[in-house]
């Protein structure tokens, strides 16, 4: 009676201990400690059954710290003595020299051969579902009594329920964690007006939710939109899809493998990422379209103003020549937009712009003249570049039509200003240089560039435009 009372007390204490927490790892650690204490064993190993891999995985120990192991031992039901107990759904006991039994499975980082006896039992739920297995070991030979075997089976039966509850709790906690992560992403996507901020929030939340060492969004053109952290041993990729087409990938890295639950969470995050990416692109397309319409409207108004100015010219103008000049002005504006489109930027490199205009004008009206050019590396916004392009085209066209055989073009920076100079070796400008083209240049330099125009004559002609950089 004394032994049965002691076993009943030990069973009660063990059950109370393992039912005191819903944390799965804490439950397993308490099982190992309490069972070893209840049976006065030197060691206890607790294995949890992974039905996805059909393996028993060592999750907690007493007598041999699991943290010191380089690789977590695992076996299939039927392998090893503990696996045999799990497969048979029945206890297995060896009184001595257990490591010499044919069923014994050796793990290099688990020194089980130092133990003589072993008692292994399956951990089964009430309906017979396998949840795991556990064993107790002693360094001295020992025959466990029938009561001790029954005690260990009773403890294992109660532990199965505790493990089941802990798994449900762990799953609930994981779902809460997932929902919190998705909520943070949704909030970031809705609150941010900028695509880059949304992508940054998605990547950082992915790392936090999955415990990843690194993550990145890869767009459909192969460009990495937002990398964070560092790559690691294991990587998982999840496609970003929008209306049946792939628009990118969400990639995560970490030291350990990704579970099916991790992949499901990544798929949910990828859905939000696809929405954020497509929403951001739509906003950008809208902004871009608005900007394009604005620029087109402004440039059409500029063209209309130039044509009106041409029509109001007091001096007699050859209609064909007036039309050619108007065409060149429109082509100058088009050259600016061509460069903006190629660069996909808001700024224009003036050297590239002037080279294109020079080639166009020399080919059209140059008549074999020698045009040399020296251009400093300078960028201007699209709006200012349009005005500079028109000024450059007017001055160079005038030099090609009325100047000498050699023409020089220079662009330099001087004391915070930009200086555009066009000179030729011709007869000069005459007494009072005028004309529609020159009126256009003066108006653009004064109103658009906030600069000055100076004309010098003899020998040759020189036009110099100075405006703030």
- Poorest-confidence range of 46-50, 53-57, 334-338? 334-338
Residue 272's pLDDT is: 75
For residue range 73-103, list pLDDT tens digits in order: 889 999 999 999 999 999 999 999 988 899 9
- The CA distance from 101 to 358, in Å, is 93
Q: Could you tell me the end-to-end alpha-carbon distance of the chain, in angstroms, rounded to an integer?
A: 101
Rg of the chain on CA atoms, in Å: 41
pLDDT band at 45 (very low <50, low <70, confident <90, very high): very high
- The CA distance from 350 to 207, in Å, is 44
Please state the pTM of the whole predicted model. Answer: 0.45
Q: Residue 257 has what DSSP assignment?
A: P
Cβ proximity of 340 and 452 under 8 Å: no
For residue range 8-19, list pLDDT tens digits in order: 777 777 677 666
Residue 1's pLDDT is: 46
Residue 90's pLDDT is: 94
Residue 87's pLDDT is: 93
φ and ψ at residue 289, rounded to 5 degrees: -60, -40
Q: Residue 110 has what DSSP assignment?
A: B
Please state, as a whole number, how many other Cβ atoms lie within 10 Å of the Cβ of residue 129. 12
| Strands 370-375 and 379-381, sheet pairing | unpaired
Positive/negative CA dihedral, 11, 14, 17, 21: negative
Tokens 């002609």: give the residue: 461
- Of all residues in the chain, the percent with pLDDT exceeding 90 is 14
Residue 141's pLDDT is: 94
- Poorest-confidence range of 195-199, 317-321, 341-345, 389-393? 341-345
Instruction: List, in order of start, the domains of the chain with CATH numbers.
Output: 2-170 (3.30.450.40), 177-282 (3.30.450.40), 313-468 (3.30.565.10)
- Residue 140, pLDDT > 50, answer yes
Residue 250's pLDDT is: 87
- The CA distance from 227 to 251, in Å, is 9
pLDDT band at 288 (very low <50, low <70, confident <90, very high): very low
State the Cα angle at 381 between 311 and 466, rounded to 5°.
70
For residue range 111-127, list pLDDT tens digits in order: 777 889 999 999 998 88
pLDDT band at 316 (very low <50, low <70, confident <90, very high): low
Averaged pLDDT, 50-65: 86
Strand, coil or helix: 215: strand
- Residue 416, pLDDT > 50, answer yes
């Amino acid at each position: 009676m004394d032994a049965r009372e002691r076993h009943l007390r030990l069973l009660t204490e063990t059950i109370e201990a393992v039912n005191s927490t819903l944390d799965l790892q804490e439950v397993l650690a308490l099982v190992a400690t309490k069972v070893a204490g209840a049976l006065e064993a030197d060691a206890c190993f607790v294995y949890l059954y992974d039905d996805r891999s059909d393996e028993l995985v060592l999750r907690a120990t007493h007598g041999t710290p699991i943290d010191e192991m380089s690789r977590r031992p695992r076996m299939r039901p039927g392998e090893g003595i503990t696996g045999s107990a799990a497969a048979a759904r029945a206890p297995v006991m060896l009184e001595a020299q257990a490591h010499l039994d044919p069923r014994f499975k050796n793990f290099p980082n688990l020194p089980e051969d130092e133990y003589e006896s072993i008692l292994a039992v399956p951990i089964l739920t009430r309906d017979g579902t396998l949840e795991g297995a556990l064993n107790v070991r002693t360094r001295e030979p020992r025959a466990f009594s029938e009561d001790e075997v029954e005690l260990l089976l009773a403890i294992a039966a109660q532990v199965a329920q505790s493990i089941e509850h802990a798994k449900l709790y762990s799953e609930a906690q994981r779902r809460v964690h997932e929902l919190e992560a998705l909520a943070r992403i949704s909030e970031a996507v809705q609150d941010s007006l900028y695509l880059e901020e949304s992508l940054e929030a998605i990547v950082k939340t992915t790392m936090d939710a999955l415990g990843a060492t690194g993550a990145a969004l890869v767009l459909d053109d192969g460009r990495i939109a937002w990398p964070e952290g560092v790559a690691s041993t294991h990587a998982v990729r999840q496609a970003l899809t929008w209306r049946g087409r792939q628009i990118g990938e969400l990639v995560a890295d970490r030291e350990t493998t990704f579970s099916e639950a991790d992949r499901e969470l990544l798929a949910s995050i990828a859905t939000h990422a696809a929405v954020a990416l497509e929403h951001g692109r739509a906003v950008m397309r809208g902004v871009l379209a608005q900007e394009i319409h604005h620029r087109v409207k402004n440039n059409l108004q500029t063209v209309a103003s130039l044509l009106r100015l041409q029509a109001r010219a007091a001096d007699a103008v050859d209609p064909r020549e007036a039309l050619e000049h108007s065409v060149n002005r429109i082509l100058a504006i088009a050259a600016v937009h061509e460069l903006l489109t190629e660069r996909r930027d808001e700024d224009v490199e003036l050297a590239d712009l002037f080279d294109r205009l020079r080639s166009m004008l020399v080919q059209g009206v140059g008549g074999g003249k020698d045009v040399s050019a020296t251009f400093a590396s300078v960028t201007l916004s699209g709006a200012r570049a349009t005005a500079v392009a028109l000024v450059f085209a007017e001055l160079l066209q005038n030099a090609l039509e009325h100047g000498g055989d050699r023409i020089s073009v220079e662009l330099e920076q001087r004391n915070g200003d930009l200086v555009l100079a066009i000179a030729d070796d011709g007869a000069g400008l005459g007494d009072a240089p005028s004309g529609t083209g020159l009126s256009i240049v003066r108006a653009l330099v004064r109103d658009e560039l906030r600069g000055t125009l100076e004309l010098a004559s003899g020998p040759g002609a020189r036009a110099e435009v100075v405006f703030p950089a």
